[in-house]
Amino acid sequence: MADTVLYEVSDGLATITLNRPEAMNALDVETKVALRDAARAAADDGAVRAVLLTAAGDRAFCVGQDLKEHVGLLAASEGAGPDEGVMSTVREHYNPIVRALAGAAKPVVAAVNGVAAGAGFGFALAADYRIVADTASFNTSFAGVALTADSGISWTLPRAVGASRAADLLLFPRTLTAQEAYDLGIAHRVVPSAELAAEALGLARRLAAGPTVAYAALKESLSYALSHSLEEALEKEDELQTRAGASQDHRIAVRAFVAKEKPVYLGR
């Protein structure tokens, strides 16, 4: 894996760190490939019980596509077909990254330390929980460079802020402060910048030590219910609760509750 993305697994927690602080963690091809591979590795590894997506430096979480590289790639792909042109990066990189993060059967936490723009905003929204530095900001950015939405943001943003507000933020890109992001429901928690790393790590470790079978079911249930009827959602709840109820973690939790002890979950 390229050093533009760092990947570490410890005590059931996979930490993925965007590591191009000098470029505000912009997404060149090397970084996109490495992030895709890291996200897939975390999603597929049964020993990983939670994921923390973060970034190096204190200026940016990720400013999206590396436009300096993009200019050259646009020129080089002039006249190429849709399967060969520069925008094939959506299919080859962005979509697999979002699928791995949003579709992982484990909780994903994004620690947003600075600017999250374009695909960087999209990747943060693909996480299940966003803890944000008080100095961070968000911007959809796409229309500003004559592009439409990608990185899943057409799906995730309306679910976070509502369809009307999402249209406003996409049609008229502007910078949202951390407080505005919290008020809109984009950020779940805002903390002082100096405390972000410790707070995010503590939160992610807590999730990794938790009842991860139940977390996976909760994640699936919420996603399903957003696009199905009440009756279908009730059926899905029945299916998922049956699965969670058969887990060792459920038995551990009940025994610990009766004994007034702290449960130690196994993640199965």
pLDDT (tens digit per residue) in 213-237: 999 999 999 999 999 999 999 999 9
- In which band, very low, low, confident or very high, does the pLDDT at 66 lie, cut at 50, 70 and 90? confident
Average pLDDT rounded to a whole number, residues 120-143:
97
% of the chain at pLDDT higher than 90: 86
Contacts of 211 (CB under 8 A, 6+ apart): 247, 249, 250, 253, 263, 265, 267
Cα–Cα distance for residue pair 90/103, rounded to 1 Å: 17
Q: What is the pLDDT of residues 78-95, one digit of tens each?
A: 666 655 667 788 999 999
Q: What does pLDDT average to over the chain?
A: 93
Per-residue confidence (pLDDT) for residue 73, from 0 to 100 = 72
Give the global pTM: 0.90
**209 contacts: CB under 8 Å, gap ≥ 6:** 11, 12, 49, 265
Distance CA(6)–CA(179), nearest Å, equals 29
Residue boundaries of the structural domains of the chain: 5-208, 212-259
CATH number of 5-208: 3.90.226.10
Q: 231: Cβ–Cβ under 8 A, 6 or more apart, which residues? A: none
| Residue 151 pLDDT grade (very low, low, confident, very high; cuts 50, 70, 90) | very high
Tell me the mean pLDDT in the region 3-19: 97
Going edge to edge, which strands form the sheet with 5-10?
5-10, 13-18, 50-55, 108-112, 129-133, 189-191
Q: Return the CATH superfamily for domain 212-259.
A: Lyase 2-enoyl-coa Hydratase, Chain  A, domain 2 (1.10.12.10)
Reply yes or no on whether the pLDDT at 124 is more than 70. yes
CA distance 217 to 56: 31
